[in-house]
Amino acid sequence: MAKLDQVKNKDILEMINQNDENLKKLHDIVRKSFEEEKLIVDNLINPTDEYLNRGQLISDKVARFGGSWSFILIFTGILIVWVLFNTLMIKQARFDPYPFILMNLVLSCLAALQAPIIMMSQNRQEEKDRKRAENDYLVNLKAELEIRSLHKKIDVLLEEEIKQLFDSQVNHLKLLKQLTDHVDSLEKELKNKNVQP
């Protein structure tokens, strides 16, 4: 019986040690995945600050105003006043008569200046969009790493569980063999006792 208790205690200790090893493997996988992802999280939480010089700030404001309904309404109002003034006033007060050559020159100059300013703002916005796309890529990469980490954890758990099941079956078979041997020896002893009166 003492042998049987020792075998049981040994089996229990082996199972506890295996569980400890499994936990260590899982912790190592989690730690490794967090170390790999730390840089990704840092990049997403602390994006690089954008420092704009005075020209860039002005181009952003011009582009913002040039693409608004306020600009369209104000500019339409100015054009209507310009045309009405130069058609309805007496000839001496008109500064740009009917073909409105001066108005065309002003519109051309405005378009020529406004276009590059808007392009500068759009180029900077394109750079921001590129950085956002990089951040989206990093988020997707982080999600992929999380999924891989989970797959590794599940694989380790399954491997260890199968190994534990196999080991426990081997131990149970050993115990059964020991029990059958013990029962056989007891039966022999009983037969020997019954034979010798």
Its pTM stands at 0.50
Give tens-digit pLDDT for 3-62.
Answer: 656 666 676 677 677 667 766 776 676 666 666 666 555 655 555 666 788 888 888 888
For residues 127 and 36, give the distance between their C-alpha atoms in angstroms, rounded to a whole number: 27
Nearest partner of 191 among 183, 106, 154, judged by Cα: 183
First to last CA, the chain: 28
Is the separation of the CB atoms in 37 and 142 below 8 Å? yes
